[in-house]
Amino acid sequence: MTRRRLHLGALSDPKCRRSRGRAALGGGAGAGEAPIAAARIAGIAVLLGALATVAALLAPGPAHALGPYPDLGSCPVFPAPPASLSPRAPSLATEAAWNQNVAKAPRARDSAKVIAYIDTHGGDAIHPDFGSPRAYGFPYAVVGTGARPLPIHYTAYGAESSPGPFPIPASAPVEGGTHADGDRHVIVVDRSTCKLYELYRAFYKAKPKPHWNADSGVEWDLRSAARRRDGWTSADAAGLPIFPGLVRYEEAAAGHVDHAIRVTMESTRRAWIHPASHCAGDTDDGAAPPTGLRLRLKAGYPLRGMGTAARAIAVAMKEYGLIVADNGSNWYISGTSDRRWDDEELDALKRIPGRAFEVVRSAAAVRPC
């Protein structure tokens, strides 16, 4: 089943967010003054609402900020590619692709055409869709032995979802916050079993018995490179796991991000490339990027003036690249919501233009929906 999502990443940016007007409050003004008074009150309410929204997003307090996160123990985040794999091999068709260095992989023949399409159908520069405010990025939880499994009640794509129950606690953080709208992803790693649990449009319900409602959900084995069944979605539109594509603060601050990064695109083709297994495109144009497409920052692009974390992310885009995982704002790369991010440092990545990227050849063929 094909789905196309409304991506709210841009709305979580205080620079882009639009406030919602509140209902004007009536008073004792005369008939001629009432419309003016009501308009003034409405204008003040809108201004106050906007200020409150920005303040909440920027507030550093513990009620909003997240991080640091527990470690994953001995769990890998999907297997490494085979040791015998040539560094010049195309992008793999399994989940091991996340950990494949594609710096020397061949460039796709239609690279220039695809990049041109992307840049003319939305923004034309990298945008880190994560940072220190709570509304930025993906939060996650780590559980271990003894975590209580809760039933998952699916509300849309149950036939393509793992049946549950999942060890997702009632307190697991929701993307955007407990009261957020949008995709509302929930991500949990069980480090006692090395299993990854991801939900899309997730809502915790305490009654009649504790459970989670979600549009879709998947249990992933972090020790296996197996991909999803063709045609099946996941908690992401592409049928891919989300967690391996997130930039985490610890790795960036240490100066190395050794995996591909999740990216969204405004317009995608009705097709996918393995390891993706599902599409949610809006066009059949052969120049549009299918889900699962692998891109990389060109080797010669200069990285001068970047801080440690930003430079590590840029180097990762050269070595491991980006994988198109969902519809959304153009060139928006994904990472964790973490109070430790230096948002001004991350802004340096916004100077990288889309034209500085190229498409990596994939081992798998493009599969139409």
Tell me the per-residue pLDDT of 259-293, one tens digit each, with 9 for 90 and over: 999 999 999 999 999 999 999 999 999 999 999 99
Note every long-range contact of 161-167, with CB atoms under 8 Å and residues 24 or more positions apart, other chains counting. 161/214, 161/216, 161/217, 161/218, 162/217, 162/218, 162/219, 164/217, 164/219, 166/197, 166/199, 166/212, 166/217, 166/219, 167/143, 167/197
pLDDT of residue 36: 40
pLDDT of residue 64: 59
Q: How far apart are CA 238 and CA 260, in angstroms?
A: 15
pLDDT of residue 135: 85
Enter the tokens of residue 304.
């001068």
* Alpha-carbon distance values, 89 to 31, 102, 106, 226, 364 (Å): 76, 8, 7, 19, 12
**Domain boundary assignment for the chain:** 95-368
Other C-beta atoms within 10 Å of 93: how many? 18
Task: Spell out, as residue ranges, where the chain has pLDDT lower than 50.
Answer: 1-42, 44-63
List pLDDT tens digits, range 219-230: 999 999 999 999
Instruction: Tokens 């120049």: give the residue.
Output: 287
